[in-house]
Amino acid sequence: MQVLNKIKEFIVKHVLDDDNNNRNNNDRRNSYYKYVQQISEIPDPIEENVEQLVEYEGRESLKILVLSDSHGWNSAMLEAIELESPDMILHLGDKSEDCECIVEQYPQIPIRNVKGNSDLLRGGLDRDEFVLEGKRFFMTHGHLYGVKMGKGGLINTGLNKGIDILLFGHTHTPFFDEIDGMTILNPGCIGLNQKCYAIIELSNGIFSFNLKNL
């Protein structure tokens, strides 16, 4: 599996998300998209010992701000935080270094983040999995699953792992759906003047989901 992930990263870094590569070679570019999609359909291993966020158990309400693709537009992230006053922040990559600004401005708010295709040279996780109030969360940027060409590989991974709430970014397009009891959410792009984000709220044991714009 580590070898496959390295192959995915190489393809994404040098082909799929490099506008200077293969700009005039659509056939080759499309063949790489198909290849990474085939790789993406190989399910990730099921994690048996997933982190339990016990510090939030028993709370009557909880607000989670979901961000992705900030691309250095830190002011938009900070505006969303100021507006929503979240209890937790999830950042789905691109660029994960932008989270440093959040930590500096709002050190009291817990934040979890994963790497995107623009973060390949940085440390950190490609995916994160945890349990909150009995719901199993899975968050990833999406580039390693070829989501720009289709969500099938990522959705299959989520279903195979028994995920309840599946979060991804990368496409810069807000998305919400429910498949076989699994909620799928893309908050859209908070950066690049798009200013999209998502809110997950827990109230009396029930999760709700909202896509928003600044």
pLDDT (tens digit, 9 = 90+) per residue, 56-82?
A: 766 778 999 999 999 999 999 999 999
Residue 73 in any domain: the answer is: yes
Query: Counting Cβ atoms within 10 Å, is residue 178 exposed (0-12), middle (13-18) or buried (19+)?
Result: exposed
Residue 181 in any domain: the answer is: yes
Residue 130 in any domain: the answer is: yes
Domain that holds residue 202: 51-213
Q: What angle do CA 134, 111, 18 make, to 5 degrees?
A: 110
pLDDT at 22 over 50: no
Look at residue 96 in the predicted model and tell me its pLDDT: 81
Q: Are 135 and 167 in contact (CB under 8 A)?
A: no
pLDDT at 179 over 50: yes
* CATH number for 127: 3.60.21.10
Residue 6 in any domain: the answer is: no
Residue 26 in any domain: the answer is: no
Q: Count Cβ neighbours within 10 Å for each residue of 46-70 and write b for 16 or more, e otherwise.
A: eeeebeebeeeeeeeebebbbbbbb
User: pLDDT (tens digit, 9 = 90+) per residue, 119-157?
Assistant: 877 778 999 999 998 899 999 999 999 999 899 999 999
Look at residue 28 in the predicted model and tell me its pLDDT: 55
CA atoms within a 13 Å half-sphere pointing along the CA-CB vector of 84: 29
For residue 164, what is the DSSP state? S
Q: Is the dihedral of CA 86, 89, 92, 98 positive or negative?
A: positive
Distance CA 102, CA 78 (A): 7
Residue 10 in any domain: the answer is: no
Given pLDDT bands bounded at 50, 70 and 90, which one contains residue 6?
A: low
Domains held by the chain: number:
1
Per the prediction, the chain carries an average pLDDT of 84
Look at residue 19 in the predicted model and tell me its pLDDT: 45
Distance CA 187, CA 178 (A): 15
pLDDT at 192 over 80: yes
Residue 2 in any domain: the answer is: no
| Mean pLDDT (whole number) for 166-180 | 97
Residue 17 in any domain: the answer is: no
